[in-house]
Amino acid sequence: MQSAITSLIAVVGTLLGATATYIFQARATKQARWEARDERLWQEQLAAYSAFAGAIT
C-alpha cells in the first residue's frame, strides 16, 4: 500500500509540474509575441515619421 501511495504522489507531482511548465511557457510565448508586435509597430511609425519629414523638407 505504501508503494501505491508513493507512486500516486509521484504521478500527481509530475502532472502538476507539467501543467505549471505549460502555463509559464504559454505566458512567455504570449509576451514574446506582444514584444515583437510592439517592435514592428515602432519600426513602422519610425518609417512613417521619416517619410513625412522627408516630404516636408
Res 50: pLDDT = 96
pLDDT score recorded for residue 3: 87
Q: What's the rounded Cα separation, in Å, for the pair 54 and 7?
A: 70
Domain total for the chain?
A: 1
Whose grid coordinates read 515619421? 49
The pTM of the full predicted model, rounded to 2 decimals, is: 0.65
Alpha helices in 1-57 (DSSP H): 2-56
What pLDDT is attached to residue 31?
98
Domain span including residue 47 = 1-57
Return d(Cα 21, Cα 13) in angstroms, integer. Answer: 12
Query: What is the CA angle 14-18-24, rounded to 5?
Result: 145
Instruction: Using only the alpha carbons of the chain, give its radius of gyration.
Output: 25
pLDDT of residue 1: 83
Q: What is the pLDDT of residue 22?
A: 98
Per-position pLDDT tens, the chain of length 57 = 888 899 999 999 999 999 999 999 999 999 999 999 999 999 999 999 999 999 999
